[in-house]
Amino acid sequence: MIRADGRRPDELRQVTILRGWQEHAEGSALISAGRTRVLCAASVTTGVPRWRKGSGLGWVTAEYSMLPRATDTRNDRESVRGRISGRTHEISRLIGRSLRACIDLKALGENTIAIDCDVLLADGGTRTAAITGAYVALVDAARWLGRPDAIITSVSAVSVGVVKGEAMLDLAYSEDSTADTDMNVVCTGADGFVEVQGTAEGTPFDRTMLDSLLDLAVRGCAQLTAIQTEALRGPVPAGPPRPGGAR
Amino acid sequence: MIRADGRRPDELRQVTILRGWQEHAEGSALISAGRTRVLCAASVTTGVPRWRKGSGLGWVTAEYSMLPRATDTRNDRESVRGRISGRTHEISRLIGRSLRACIDLKALGENTIAIDCDVLLADGGTRTAAITGAYVALVDAARWLGRPDAIITSVSAVSVGVVKGEAMLDLAYSEDSTADTDMNVVCTGADGFVEVQGTAEGTPFDRTMLDSLLDLAVRGCAQLTAIQTEALRGPVPAGPPRPGGAR
Amino acid sequence: MIRADGRRPDELRQVTILRGWQEHAEGSALISAGRTRVLCAASVTTGVPRWRKGSGLGWVTAEYSMLPRATDTRNDRESVRGRISGRTHEISRLIGRSLRACIDLKALGENTIAIDCDVLLADGGTRTAAITGAYVALVDAARWLGRPDAIITSVSAVSVGVVKGEAMLDLAYSEDSTADTDMNVVCTGADGFVEVQGTAEGTPFDRTMLDSLLDLAVRGCAQLTAIQTEALRGPVPAGPPRPGGAR
Amino acid sequence: MIRADGRRPDELRQVTILRGWQEHAEGSALISAGRTRVLCAASVTTGVPRWRKGSGLGWVTAEYSMLPRATDTRNDRESVRGRISGRTHEISRLIGRSLRACIDLKALGENTIAIDCDVLLADGGTRTAAITGAYVALVDAARWLGRPDAIITSVSAVSVGVVKGEAMLDLAYSEDSTADTDMNVVCTGADGFVEVQGTAEGTPFDRTMLDSLLDLAVRGCAQLTAIQTEALRGPVPAGPPRPGGAR
Amino acid sequence: MIRADGRRPDELRQVTILRGWQEHAEGSALISAGRTRVLCAASVTTGVPRWRKGSGLGWVTAEYSMLPRATDTRNDRESVRGRISGRTHEISRLIGRSLRACIDLKALGENTIAIDCDVLLADGGTRTAAITGAYVALVDAARWLGRPDAIITSVSAVSVGVVKGEAMLDLAYSEDSTADTDMNVVCTGADGFVEVQGTAEGTPFDRTMLDSLLDLAVRGCAQLTAIQTEALRGPVPAGPPRPGGAR
Amino acid sequence: MIRADGRRPDELRQVTILRGWQEHAEGSALISAGRTRVLCAASVTTGVPRWRKGSGLGWVTAEYSMLPRATDTRNDRESVRGRISGRTHEISRLIGRSLRACIDLKALGENTIAIDCDVLLADGGTRTAAITGAYVALVDAARWLGRPDAIITSVSAVSVGVVKGEAMLDLAYSEDSTADTDMNVVCTGADGFVEVQGTAEGTPFDRTMLDSLLDLAVRGCAQLTAIQTEALRGPVPAGPPRPGGAR
The 10s digit of each residue's pLDDT in E110-134 is: 999 999 999 999 999 999 999 999 9
Out of B63, B80, B121, name the one closest to residue C63 (CB).
B80
CB-CB under 8 Å, F204 with E193: yes
Asked whether the beta carbons of residue E206 and residue F200 sit closer than 8 angstroms, the reply is no
Rounded Cα gap, residues A242 and C195, in angstroms:
65
- Check pLDDT > 90 for residue D40: yes
**DSSP class of residue D103?**
B
E238: pLDDT confidence band, cut at 50, 70 and 90? Answer: low
| F234 CB-near residues (< 8 Å, 6+ apart) | none
Q: Kindly list the structural domains of chain D, giving each domain's residue range(s) and its CATH number in brackets, ordered by start.
A: 15-71+86-231 (3.30.230.70)
Instruction: Give the ipTM.
Output: 0.92
Residues 77-106 of F with CB under 8 A from E: 83-87, 89-90, 92-93, 97, 101
Residues of chain D with Cβ-Cβ distance to E116 below 8 Å are 67-69, 74
Question: Which of C202-211, D86-95, E131-140 has the highest mean predicted lDDT (pLDDT)?
Answer: E131-140
Mutate to test the interface with C, among B28, B46, B69 (most CBs of C within 10 A): B69
Give me the pLDDT at residue A69, please.
96
Interchain contact A204–B (C-beta under 8 A)? yes
Lowest mean pLDDT among E175-179, E213-217, F92-96, F158-162: E175-179
CB atoms within 10 A of CB C55: 12
What's the distance, Cα to Cα, between the start and end of chain B in Å? Answer: 52
Average pLDDT (C144-163) is: 96
> What 3-state class would DSSP assign to D83?
coil
Assess contact for F58 and F42: CB atoms under 8 A.
no
Strand E15-19 vs strand A193-200: parallel, antiparallel, or unpaired?
A: unpaired
Query: DSSP string covering B52-94, please?
Result: GTTSS--EEEEEEEE-TTSSSS----HHHHTS--HHHHHHHHH
Instruction: Work out how many CB contacts closer than 8 A connect C with D.
Output: 92
A155: contact with F, CB 8 A cutoff: no
Q: Is the pLDDT of residue B203 over 90?
A: no
Instruction: Give the model's confidence band at C244: pLDDT under 50 very low, under 70 low, under 90 confident, else very high.
Output: very low
Q: How far is CA B54 from CA B96, C129, E204, E213, in A?
A: 21, 45, 49, 58
- Give yes or no for a contact between A29 and A224, defined as CB atoms under 8 angstroms apart: no
| Rounded distance between C-alpha atoms, residue C100 and residue C89, angstroms | 17
pLDDT(C1) > 80: no
Phi, psi of E183, deg, nearest 5: -135, 135
Answering whether pTM is above 0.80, one says: yes
Q: Is C199 on the interface with D (CB under 8 A)?
A: yes
Mean pLDDT on F228-244: 75
Residue C246 has pLDDT above 80, yes or no: no
Contact at CB, F206 and E194, closer than 8 angstroms:
no
Residues A189, A173: contact at Cβ < 8 Å? no
**What would the pLDDT profile of F83-142 be if each residue is shown by its tens digit?**
889 899 999 999 999 999 999 999 999 999 999 999 999 999 999 999 999 999 999 999
**Whether F85 and E89 lie within 8 Å, measured CB to CB:** yes
Give the whole-angstrom CA distance, residue A201 versus residue B195.
9
**Touching F: which chains, 3+ CB pairs < 8 A?**
A, E
pLDDT band at E68 (very low <50, low <70, confident <90, very high): very high
Helix, strand, coil percentages for chain E (3-state, nearest 5): 30, 30, 40
Mean pLDDT of E61-90: 93
Is the CB of residue D214 less than 8 Å away from at least one CB of chain C? yes
Coil, strand, or helix at residue F137? Answer: helix
Residues of chain A with pLDDT under 50: 244-247
